[in-house]
Structure 1
Amino acid sequence: MMPARFFPLIRAAFAALALVAGLASASAQAQNAYGGMATDGDHTKVYSVAPEKNKQWAEMAAIAECKRAGGKGCKTLTTFWDSCMVYARNSRQDLFPGNSVAPEMAAKKAMRRCTAGSPDGNCRLTSLPVCAGPGYSAEDLAAAKRAKPADIEALSAKLDSRAYWGAVAENADGGAVYSDGYPSEDEAINTLLKWEDCKDCRKLLTYKDTCVGIAWIKGSEGRGTRFTALNPDSVSAREASRETCTAKTGAPACVAMVRCSGRAYMDGYKGQDAKSQ
């Protein structure tokens, strides 16, 4: 049996070992504070790695990850350390970076740059921010890998400061002319009224973050022959305008179409390319 006088010495030894292990772990985390990002030749996807030991390893690992995932023409985008990094992409596949010590601030910077450099808006984060460094929680470090497309779109929408306005006007013969996706109400209607096809046009309505159904009696001409209805659901908007047309004219079968303007419709909507019916 070990004499009791040795117990304090043993406890002190274990404490010293634990301290050394903790310092070694912290040192390892500090050394593995780098991240890297790469993309394919068409910017269709951004590939990320973290943590890595140094900048060179992060760069090589990001390229390797791109190739492993089947990317073609893989190239380095950036390396980063003790911070969070993310990219936003627009409809032309241009990429815009955002870097900050705070994950959401990195995303905000990427979205702001994308919006400023994209006339039609339509910016979306390529992932949640990727963080590298000893100061981040396990949740921060795992967020990008765990994120689902809906999570990425939710953060993109939250940080998208751009508006998406649409406008409808009628020309001299009563035909409807429309535009959508503009950053302001004035720009939507003023641009529309300047179009060559919009001769002697007058404004019917402007709309944002919703859909407008436009209905009329087939073959009808003259001002006041187009009837509109607003609804966030594209099919409901179209059918509501048809019902309004029937109620106002008594015609049993008005034709109708629909247009939507808003971030929620970036990826298309029912009836977008359908002919009037």
Structure 2
Amino acid sequence: MRYRCTEHLCVSFYDEIDGVAQKQGAPLSVGAISVYLGGEGEEYEAHVSEGASARGTSITFSPDYYRTYLQSRFGSVEDMRRAFLEADGRHDMPDLVNLLKKARSYKGTGMAAELFYEGVISEVVAFVMQHSSFCPKEHRSIPLTREDREAIDFICGYIASNLGGDLSCSRLANQLYIGKTKLKNLFKTATGLSPSHYVAHERMEEAARLLAETDLAIAEIGEKVGYTKPGAFTEAFRRDRGCTPTQFRKQR
């Protein structure tokens, strides 16, 4: 697959990617941030195998945004394209992954949608700049070691594979052979969330996906994401999405 493009910046996340290899940038992989910097008149190239599949979310920025709008609003802004390039291939930015998932599931329209997506764009830039070496030290997160990143990758994968099971802080800490305090600090640094808030978010994301994409009974979906009592699942979903599972399914 080849095509010529105008200048742009694209940041993506894949839930599923198989049989696709792009010529530029880090290898595409599930759970990793993918960034592509398109230059004016440059050619994008990717090799797609027979039977390949991909499912993900991306946001594309035009140069009018990062060369004109940001400069007019904030004055001198460091090279945002280079800052985004630092995120290419990283697995330790679940805050950015969650934001892309949130943007994908949003179904609003009109002024509410414009305000929502404007906020998403601002948050994406904020997350990237916060993790970037171009961000002033006093505004930057404490960097994770390679071992910490590997631990986050492992435990996030464990959570995704066990949404219906015991995902208490104690259980997660035991999986990494670390104390609960260390686990909480690690999650806060990597995601900006506590372990319990991260687990709750992932459970609601999976519940929303199952409601929209399957015909499973609501009680069964609740069990798959860790709620043995249908009433508890309905209430948790309503608090998170602003509607009951039944209403959410009808809207989809």
Same fold (TM over 0.5): no
TM-score interval for Structure 1 and Structure 2 normalised by the shorter chain: under 0.3
Structure 1 length-normalised TM:
0.22
Larger Rg: 1
More strand by share: 1
> Which has a greater percent of helix?
2
TM-score by length of 2: 0.23
